Amino acid sequence: MAAWKKKLNRELDELVRALPSEFAPAENEPAAVKSNHTRTVRITAAVTACALLFGVLLPVVMSGLFMPNTGGVVLMEMNSAVRLYTDADGSVLSVYSENGNGDILLSDSEFAESLCGMSAEDAAQKLAGRAFAAGLVREGENAVRITVAADKNSSAKELQTVLESSVIGYFCEKGAFVPVLGRTAELSAFGKEDTAREMAEAGFGTPFTVTERLAAATPLERVEASYRNSLLLYTKEVTEYVYRTVSGKQADLKKIDALNREIMDHPDNTLSLPYWLLETNIERTDSLAALLVRMENELADYELRYGQSLNEPEQYLLFLALDAFYENFDLFALRRGIDDLLSVIEYFTGIFDPSAFIGLISADDAMEEIVSALFEGIGDLPDSVGSYVDTALKMLQRETKLSLYENRAEAEKQRPTISYEGYRAKMEELFGKFENFEDFWNSFQ
């Protein structure tokens, strides 16, 4: 017998035993009458018990079978964390960030608003693409975890499957192996409202990002202190970008310089001309041509990484100036000095003046322009909660652009696509390292 039927019988028996005493047989009746009466009472009791039981269970059973699914809640975790609410048809009603990296994805309100109204599977794919472009998801480092809840678990499972398939398809097309894991959860894990639709409606009007929500909740008397702290954290992000860029340019310019010396020393380059001054119609042997192609590729990569072209003949002097500047640039001294300065500013709750910092990199016009733009218009103390929200959002949006700018070479790299069979084989190999799904899931926290 099915388990649910046994359970139903047990509940019936309990109801019969708990019936009121008026259903018991009367005393001192003749045996035959008593026997018939007992049979009648038992039949009546059973009928009554059934009526009571089905009166209790029928609404529960019917609500489980016919309760409408009002929508779903989706939590996408991929270093960043973003929550989406969907309607019953799987279209996105609203979207919110749940951590700082999630803010990077949703700081552009135009992008965030574009997710609303599209299907959840398209929105999930778009978010995965944004996270990959910003460097928040990297091959071999991160996974995408998708948790789905809905009014009905069957609806949650269906939506989970669709989202997993969509995101897996995106990364396979990009040629990047990123594990995608999905699971369902109880709706109560996401809020106190009774339905997914009510949860979505409760959040309408809420800003997309944590940054905006926290800034908007700051008491006026705390605005100045909060702003100083936000600006300090932002300045540290910018200086980290400068350190990474200076270090990268030092290494890349050194490679370009070494390759240029090979070209100048090549026996077929009879005048020992640098790459930039070689005539296009010069006779090129295979070995010299190979060097020139390597140089073209190096300069193209340099431009992609730093947004600065060095390929044209008239840019030879720019290369020489940058090469000399970065060859003698003491990155460690800069880092020590800036870190010490920021520590002093933090201690005295001051505001960082970027002018001295920008002056140190002024020999590189492209770097100076980028860093100056990052600090433009955010140095004045806000005089209201609203202006603090605007400034905090402006800093966040610039961090986002910086992340997209810095990671564009990796994001745009051409890779061979991954077949579904190839993806599945890699996932099985990974999963084999864990005893259960829960351990596998938690390994990507």
Q: Which helix (H) or strand (E) holds 75?
A: strand 71-78
Q: Domain coordinates of the chain in residue numbers?
A: 3-66, 71-208, 220-414
How many angstroms separate the CA atoms of 253 and 400, rounded?
27
Q: How many residues does the chain have?
A: 445
Using the 8-state DSSP alphabet, how is residue 149 labeled?
E
Indicate the pTM of the whole model. Answer: 0.78
pLDDT (0 to 100) of residue 347? 67
Blockwise average pLDDT, block size 10, the chain, 445 residues: 36 36 40 46 45 45 57 94 95 96 96 96 97 93 94 93 95 95 93 90 94 96 92 88 91 96 92 86 78 94 92 93 90 80 72 76 88 86 94 95 91 92 93 90 87
Sequence-distant (6+) residues with CB within 8 A of 306 are 245, 248, 249, 366
pLDDT (0 to 100) of residue 349? 66
Torsion of the alpha carbons at 239, 243, 249 and 255, rounded to the nearest 10: -170
pLDDT (0 to 100) of residue 348? 66
pLDDT (0 to 100) of residue 82? 97
**Sequence-ordered strand ranges (E) for 79-218:** 80-87, 92-97, 144-150, 180-184
